[in-house]
Structure 1
């Protein structure tokens, strides 16, 4: 619906007739220049803009698409200056350039935002080094984008996107969130060591999932303001509205009496909601950080980091590919990662790692807990491939 009376396109009229829609439907022209119609009890002529926005939001949820994978993500140290008090949930950071000056909450040019509670670091070995976690760090927290980011004008968002594309890690950190690492001494005093931004990459942190989110545990996180607006456009285009970082081994209490405490993520993870925390959606999912990272470049889906929405653009697929097995370069990478002798012949499902010959894959599948030798995720199927 627009502010002026317009003649509906013929294809829309035919669609309405085919759907046998009743008069209690609102028809409007959305921000992406598309006609949308949805069932609603409001009067399409006299409805307020707020009611119309609610109708549009409802339509987006109805047309939501599932988030099928997350990551892998690289994590890179930034030079951002950020102040975090371990006993508080609010952080402060200086507006380091004019682009983010609109986010300043006071005359000192500080941006305010929220962070997850501090938690002990659970990643070790290669996962720790690939994630660029300081060697003496003991604790970390996830930092959400600053307050007001989603309300910035499109021109400012484009400026931020340009800086992100040029590799400005501090801008990436503020626009999409990141990890901050601390060292704790014997007196329980915290020293901030480093702030890492998430960057799109073909290797790095791996996420298990998607796992179905149990909505009974949402209230435990929502009451502390842990769910924040999604800022990544590729997630918004799927219909996702809010997200939350769960700490490693964090125990969540259910809103249903008698339901046990639940710790969904051993190394932490992200929850994604398609509706508000009080309105669960069947596509609500969470992803947990895996013990082992991806250290080699692989062909995978990489979520593009952008604040500007583009509903016609799907999640990017990496252009990187595996070299030919006949190539003399990295020929050993096509050997089974278990016996180190025979050629890789199988993909393990659901993690999709191509890492084993047929004999070794069947051998470990017979075990009670069949785990991928790369990411240690339990696999249920073995698919044959031909290299």
Structure 2
């Protein structure tokens, strides 16, 4: 069961007395007339719900709001891109799935990847063994299905194909890293993707497969991180549902294992109505001592107008698309992948500085997680990303969070631009009590003091926000 704010509750709650004077926080009727329970979820929300609303919540779930914070404070949003996978490319065997060689003949880059797999003994020449999650029916609305490129076929089912656990710097040559004729397919192999099936008698047949890309206004959105129970980890690990994280962005934040939670997974019922991802930040046989394990649920709400616009723009022919520097849909880099080319890093730097200047904080956070070295790069004017963030408009709390994020990637608060200005000088909050020391300066800055200084620069609406509403990435 979820609380009205979308957080998971891990207990049945405390039953309220028959003559309780409280009202139901959902229907606002007297709890005493219907019987009810008192809940306090792991996120700290306390609420009271009558018996009728509790049953309805368990049947349909409360609305889950999307969260756009950077991982691990959030996940996504994602845009999906259709791959060239056909029905004959994926075959089911005795407890295993095989991605046949026909899939690798659909693009030159895939053909060279197949040749490398043969040379390294990864395949027997017929196909590659892949791991899929259990299949589950898709119950999203038609609008959400269309936005996420889910095939409109009766009884459509979904499964997540996990990434191939390979040494990608050995599989892909440097020449392959330059080509983009199979971006969606290579992401499908290195990060994973969603495979859709339709029933065929007593078996199923693959219809298509989609790979995922980060996009700050993507159509595939997720909830805020939900608490995760160690008992769930043990049961899913016993079923071999967890696989190693391969995305640099997730692994760089400490995530080690990932599991696709099927829609309406019995283990999490009535949560996970549309599926989601569970991340483990330690070995599977260890306890979650730091409390970092979490679950992100797919949001089944109607797609926002901005996300829908971006989804339609992505279908335009390449000649009509905006220049690459303005595009926001970016593939995930894989752990052990070939180093980015000089041209790619230069393009990422332009995109990074542009995002910082335009206040596109979600996009900037993603780029920095993929290329942390950009936190220390200086442009022709002697400015760093920190300078661009400070100069950007508007100055919101997300900008303040990014100052901290960039510094965690090695950004120097003492760096001066061509005019001799520091970042905090541009913000107007550099004082004797905030001035960072030469060594470990950022850690010595009082966070409440920094927030207080930033608040004075906000608009009247932002200035009235309570400190408890400031969330770090």
TM-score, normalization by structure 2: 0.46
* In structure 2, distance between residues paired with 1:266 and 1:317: 39
1:285 lines up with 2:301 in the alignment: no
* In structure 2, distance between residues paired with 1:153 and 1:143: 21
Structure 2 match to 1:319: 355
Tell me the secondary structure at the aligned position of residue 264 of structure 1: coil
Structure 2 match to 1:221: 236
Structure 2, unaligned runs of 5 or more: 1-69, 106-110, 311-327, 340-347, 361-395, 397-459, 464-473
* In structure 2, distance between residues paired with 1:156 and 1:91: 21
Please point out which of 156, 177, 181 is paired with 2:172.
Answer: 156
* In structure 2, distance between residues paired with 1:384 and 1:87: 61
Shift of 1:262: 4.5
Shift of 1:88: 3.2
Going from structure 1 to structure 2, the CA distance change for 1:278 and 1:102 (only over 3 Å counts) comes to: farther
* In structure 2, distance between residues paired with 1:193 and 1:218: 31
Tell me the secondary structure at the aligned position of residue 209 of structure 1: coil
1:268 lines up with 2:286 in the alignment: no
* In structure 2, distance between residues paired with 1:318 and 1:206: 24
More helix by share: 2
CA contact 1:72–1:206 (8 Å) conserved in 2: yes
Tell me the secondary structure at the aligned position of residue 296 of structure 1: helix
Please point out which of 111, 123, 133 is paired with 1:116.
Answer: 133
TM-score, normalization by structure 1: 0.55
Query: For residues 293-308 of structure 1, what are the structure 2 equivalents within 5 Å?
Result: 293-297=303-307, 305-308=332-335
Structure 2 match to 1:83: 90
Shift of 1:168: 1.7
Moved over 6 A (4+): 157-160, 320-323
Structure 1, unaligned runs of 5 or more: 1-64, 253-260, 324-346, 348-382
CA contact 2:212–2:331 (8 Å) conserved in 1: no
1:144 lines up with 2:149 in the alignment: no
User: RMSD value over aligned CA atoms?
Assistant: 4.0
* In structure 2, distance between residues paired with 1:239 and 1:157: 28
Structure 1 match to 2:113: 99
Going from structure 1 to structure 2, the CA distance change for 1:114 and 1:93 (only over 3 Å counts) comes to: same
Tell me the secondary structure at the aligned position of residue 236 of structure 2: helix
Tell me the secondary structure at the aligned position of residue 179 of structure 1: strand
Going from structure 1 to structure 2, the CA distance change for 1:121 and 1:66 (only over 3 Å counts) comes to: closer
Shift of 1:295: 4.3
* In structure 2, distance between residues paired with 1:271 and 1:160: 32
